[in-house]
Structure 1
Amino acid sequence: MANSERIRPPWWLKYVNKVMIAINKTGLLKDGPVVLTVTGRKSGQPRSTPITPFEVDGASYVVGGLPGSDWVRNVQANPEAVLVRGKVRRPVRMVELSADEARPLLRQFPMLVPSGVGFMKNAGLVTGPHPEEFEALAGRCSVFRFDSV
């Protein structure tokens, strides 16, 4: 499980997330980001954020791109969540992987989610799309598997 390190998100992320959530509601995006809705660990209210899941060997995963981000801490407190794309809602249970389980998935991340590379590079976590740099984030960036409920 990831440690308590926290990297502050860029100032613009909240605004971009709101735009992505609005675009998602239209149902026009068939691939790419989905909206993850989880219960806030302090407020108990639904909290939504766009995420980009990826698939490996028939299972779906997501990487918490910023260590200690609010959505990651909310999922750690309550793993029941809903994935939304357009009008389709899919309840899931999010299972956090151990660092050893996460390593091979993080290694594949730059190829499977190229849009995430720039984000993680800007956060200072990696210098580019180098699989070994992403693999080294195991235990630092949380990786979750989506299980159907």
Structure 2
Amino acid sequence: MSIAIDRVTRIMNTLVKSLSHMGISAFGAQELVVRGRVSGKEFSTPVNPVTVDGCTYLVAPRGQTQWVRNARHHGEVAMRLGRTRTPYDITEVCGVDAVPVMRHYLRKWAWEVGRFFPEGVTARSTDAELEAIIPAHPVFRITRQAA
């Protein structure tokens, strides 16, 4: 990844997080909050949730990142928009079950995150091509925790 892309990514993440703190969802983006595996400290990052067949999902376009490892470890995350913080249980979706989610995600968000996926992989890729990239770009179903 080039320095220019890193700079653009940092700027975009800062912008989306700032908007989220003000209660504004840029194109549906929200702020994901996860606890660190060792420190227990909260970390946040912008994410682009998608809804497929009535369920909400998160895709990790940048791969096996810290938020992915932390979410797997704790089995829960929170989504924040403005002052509203909503806790969710998180379940990884693998293989063929994740293909429709990945296809929808790429259809909706490729303009922003397409550069993080292997060249040639798009929403129009075959099911087998999408299934092949899912281990490197995990998919999670999030379910709102009971109050």
Q: Which interval holds the TM-score relative to the shorter structure? A: 0.7 to 0.9
Residues 17 and 93 of structure 1: CA distance in aligned 2, closer, same or farther (over 3 Å):
same
Query: Which of 46, 50, 68 lines up with 1:72 in the alignment?
Result: 68
- Indicate the percent of aligned positions where both proteins have the same amino acid: 26
* Contact persistence 1:118–1:128 (CA under 8 A): no
Where structure 1 has 5 or more consecutive residues not aligned to the other structure, the ranges are 1-6
- What's the counterpart of residue 122 of structure 1? 115
Question: In structure 1, what residue type is equivalent to 2:106?
Answer: P
Q: Partner of 2:103 in structure 1?
A: 107
Moved over 4 A (4+): none
Q: Report the RMSD for the aligned CA atoms in angstroms.
A: 2.5
Shift of 1:52: 0.5
CA–CA distance in 1 between the matches of 2:26 and 2:13? 17
| Cα distance change, pair 135–99 in 1 and its aligned pair in 2 (3 A) | closer
The aligned amino acid for 1:122 is R
The Cα shift of 1:107 comes to: 2.1
Aligned residue type for 1:129: T
- Equivalent residue runs for 1:39-58 within 5 Å: 39-58=35-54
From the two aligned structures, give the one with the greater helix fraction.
Answer: 2
Q: Normalising by structure 2, what TM-score? A: 0.81
Q: 1:71 and 1:78 mapped to 2: Cα distance?
A: 11
Q: Structure 2: give runs of 5+ residues left out of the alignment.
A: none
Give the aligned partner of residue 20 of structure 2: 24
